[in-house]
Structure 1
Amino acid sequence: MDAADRFEDETEGREHRSLLRGIAVHKEYGGVHAVRGVDFRIAPNSYVTLLGPSGCGKTSLLRMIGGFEEISSGIIELDGRSLAGIPSSRRPVNTVFQNYALFPHLSVEENVGFGLAYRSLSKAEIAAKVEQALSMVQMTSMAKRRPRQLSGGQQQRVALARAIINEPRLLLLDEPLSALDRRMRKDMQIELKDLQRRLGMTFLHVTHDQEEAFALSDEIIVMNNGRIEQQSTPAEIYRRPASAYVADFIGGANLVPGKIHSVSDGATAIETPLGLFGSPSVGGLRPGAPAVLCLRPELLRLGGADGFEATVTHVVFRGAEWLVEARALGDLTLSLVVHEAEPPPVGSIVRLSFDPARAWIAAADGT
């Protein structure tokens, strides 16, 4: 009995708290460390996004899960069983690629049913499954068309139908929306999340677009330089970033450098060029350690007797609001969101303030 057969026998009928688990997963390409010993857990029936810039290791991690790349070291488990030695074709995992990878000479229904041809199913059973899968992605009326006759969004729906027809335990999506225009991406985000909920399936989605990750995800795994910086809900990552990198990459927080003044009974104080502030913080900080005070643009406000002076340097109209940049203490640039009908003009001196209880202290990068 080979590894794939043992996997199927051992996992049948089992329930596990984590559908997918990674332990010290490492990938090296000729001396280049693409993924650096990462640990992660993904729950059943969840939508999880691997988020990070190009070259951070997210696609390498996805390919190892799918079986398209071998792990240099570490363990990946699905349903509590190691995937080592199991080829991609025998894993209960399907992938939707960035370019959709549809067969141009086959019709939509033939593309969707292609993977079923190697299973012990009658033509009637295959036809029923194809019709059901196309119905799930609202493509029944396009069943006889060829891929070249479809729009980008329609081709993506066909790729999704082909992936879900085999009822995988895990669906991997590798930048599936990157080829679509902005309006189509927003529409497909809604459709993807709705499809995942209806199927009750786990989706693991790779993207570099934080707005896309926030719109889709139950949890986000933020990657940087081959490492996982943080895994949590979108709200937790936005409000309580684990590091300066996460705070900056997610939502572009204002990062005021400083060092920890004191930590006592869960309260943390940080000394910064703007002054001494007591704010909630990430765990593990020690007095004297470098850190950053994270101020989201929407937390800064104009005015306040206890604030500080800044000079407006840029004003950008964003429809429902203005984004204002101001320089404080010579070289500290801060961004804030202004909802007034008329923002302060460039060159004007304003007073800025914020509520320290709504700020966040994170570890400085490299600490």
Structure 2
Amino acid sequence: MNAADRVVDETEERQGRSLLRGIAVHKEYGGVHAVRGVDFRIAPNSYVTLLGPSGCGKTSLLRMIGGFEEISSGIIELDGRSLAGISASRRPVNTVFQNYALFPHLSVEENVGFGLAYRRLSKPEIASKVEAALAMVQMTPMAKRRPRQLSGGQQQRVALARAIINEPRLLLLDEPLSALDRRMRKDMQIELKDLQRRLGMTFLHVTHDQEEAFALSDEIIVMNNGRIEQQSAPAEIYRRPASAYVADFIGGANLVPGKIHGVSDAATAIETPLGIFASPGVSGLRMGSPAVLCLRPELLRLGTDEGFEATVTHTVFKGAEWLVEARALGNLALSLIVHDAEPPAIGSTVSLSFDPARAWIAAAGGN
């Protein structure tokens, strides 16, 4: 069984029935492989984030699900039925675009009710649905305004109301918070998650912001170079990353290179420049294979006698804590969190240690 099959099987067992399923989904643009045969499952009534850097394939995958791009090969199923040959307008899927795509010449209520006119609903029925959708996103007082009279956050609420008024089975969100300032993004994260819970609808959200993904998601799909590195709950991805790529991309773990020294049911031993440590780790690691010891910054302890020496190279004040950067063994860069009132001086030698039982051994590299 390959890594993609394990992702599908483990996710199916965890989630049960799937609303959306992808099987060997591949997208190629003129010889460039944007999405490389990925498999995934998404549960009903969940908030799932496609997370990764620019160019990793997340937007291409979203556009194939929405029907805006054709699949080069593979299958995408919604409620167990293939979406092949079904146009974007006929799919029970709506999309909130990055620029919101509101009609500038229409009022808020006209924008929200625009799609209902094609369903031949009566004017009173359209008005009732528009009123309910605007109330859902707290935009009733703005019903008569034009988009240019709204803030970025208000325009996003209008775009959401227009998307949910048709009661889609799946709502796609293409980096909907990227145009907002930091404070408004925080507020809209809370509103989005609350709206998803109240609607009981499945949201699939594309972002490159890991903090945003953690704040919103029931599950995160981490993508890299067109492949899915890991699909899990946020806490699982943070504490038990599947690869060095995931460990580094999510939360910036310290990665100590090494090779597997021993494998047992209880733990895996890894030999590193800092020594040999027995820690939990991903399955499938073999004796002698390259791996990394993942140490989150909060796991490193300062000032203990039984540890190893490092030289402080930089300190950053974070408000409630300090981020301290240091180097061990000459060139091994490490970051740790210090809650003291003052950090150790730059250039000073400190002793660091960690509990191997709280560390994690992941496969070297990524897919």
The bucket for the TM-score relative to the shorter chain is: over 0.9
1:100 paired residue number? 100
2:84 paired residue number? 84
In structure 1, how many angstroms separate the alpha carbons of the residues matched to 2:165 and 2:342?
A: 54
For the residue of structure 1 that corresponds to 2:101, the secondary structure is coil
1:196-247 deviations in whole A, cap 9, x for unaligned? 0000000000000000000000000000000000000000000000000000
In structure 1, how many angstroms separate the alpha carbons of the residues matched to 2:138 and 2:265?
A: 55
Amino acid at match of 1:173: L
1:278 paired residue number? 278
How far apart are residue 366 of structure 1 and its match? 4.9
Amino acid at match of 2:88: S
For the residue of structure 2 that corresponds to 1:298, the secondary structure is helix
How far apart are residue 342 of structure 1 and its match? 1.1
1:171 paired residue number? 171
How far apart are residue 264 of structure 1 and its match? 1.4
Amino acid at match of 1:227: R
1:123-158 deviations in whole A, cap 9, x for unaligned? 000000000000000000000000000000000000
Contact 2:243 2:366 in 1 (8 A): no
**Within 5 Å, which residues of 2 pair with 1:4-19?**
17-19=17-19
In structure 1, how many angstroms separate the alpha carbons of the residues matched to 2:286 and 2:140?
A: 60
**1:186 matched to 2:186:** yes
For the residue of structure 2 that corresponds to 1:292, the secondary structure is strand
Amino acid at match of 1:117: A
2:9 paired residue number? none
**1:67 matched to 2:67:** yes
For the residue of structure 1 that corresponds to 2:298, the secondary structure is coil
1:40-77 deviations in whole A, cap 9, x for unaligned? 00000000000000000000000000000000000000
How far apart are residue 266 of structure 1 and its match? 3.7
In structure 2, how many angstroms separate the alpha carbons of the residues matched to 1:21 and 1:233?
A: 17
1:253-287 deviations in whole A, cap 9, x for unaligned? 00000000000124100000000000000011000
How far apart are residue 304 of structure 1 and its match? 2.0
In structure 1, how many angstroms separate the alpha carbons of the residues matched to 2:245 and 2:366?
A: 10
In structure 2, how many angstroms separate the alpha carbons of the residues matched to 1:149 and 1:307?
A: 60
Unaligned runs of 5+ in 1: 1-15
How far apart are residue 354 of structure 1 and its match? 0.3
In structure 2, how many angstroms separate the alpha carbons of the residues matched to 1:287 and 1:303?
A: 33
1:26 paired residue number? 26
Amino acid at match of 1:358: R
The percentage of aligned residue pairs carrying the same residue is 91
Amino acid at match of 1:57: G
2:309 paired residue number? 309
In structure 2, how many angstroms separate the alpha carbons of the residues matched to 1:234 and 1:29?
A: 31
1:213 paired residue number? 213
How far apart are residue 303 of structure 1 and its match? 2.0
2:251 paired residue number? 251
In structure 2, how many angstroms separate the alpha carbons of the residues matched to 1:344 and 1:305?
A: 16
For the residue of structure 1 that corresponds to 2:102, the secondary structure is coil
When normalised by structure 2's length, the TM-score is 0.95
In structure 2, how many angstroms separate the alpha carbons of the residues matched to 1:235 and 1:192?
A: 20
In structure 2, how many angstroms separate the alpha carbons of the residues matched to 1:342 and 1:43?
A: 47
**Within 5 Å, which residues of 2 pair with 1:1-367?**
17-366=17-366
Unaligned runs of 5+ in 2: 1-15
Amino acid at match of 1:84: A
For the residue of structure 2 that corresponds to 1:106, the secondary structure is coil
In structure 2, how many angstroms separate the alpha carbons of the residues matched to 1:142 and 1:338?
A: 47
In structure 2, how many angstroms separate the alpha carbons of the residues matched to 1:156 and 1:366?
A: 35
Give the superposed CA RMSD: 0.8
Contact 2:261 2:287 in 1 (8 A): yes
In structure 1, how many angstroms separate the alpha carbons of the residues matched to 2:265 and 2:353?
A: 26
Amino acid at match of 2:96: V
In structure 1, how many angstroms separate the alpha carbons of the residues matched to 2:143 and 2:120?
A: 23
In structure 2, how many angstroms separate the alpha carbons of the residues matched to 1:158 and 1:61?
A: 25
For the residue of structure 2 that corresponds to 1:113, the secondary structure is helix
2:4 paired residue number? none
In structure 2, how many angstroms separate the alpha carbons of the residues matched to 1:366 and 1:44?
A: 29
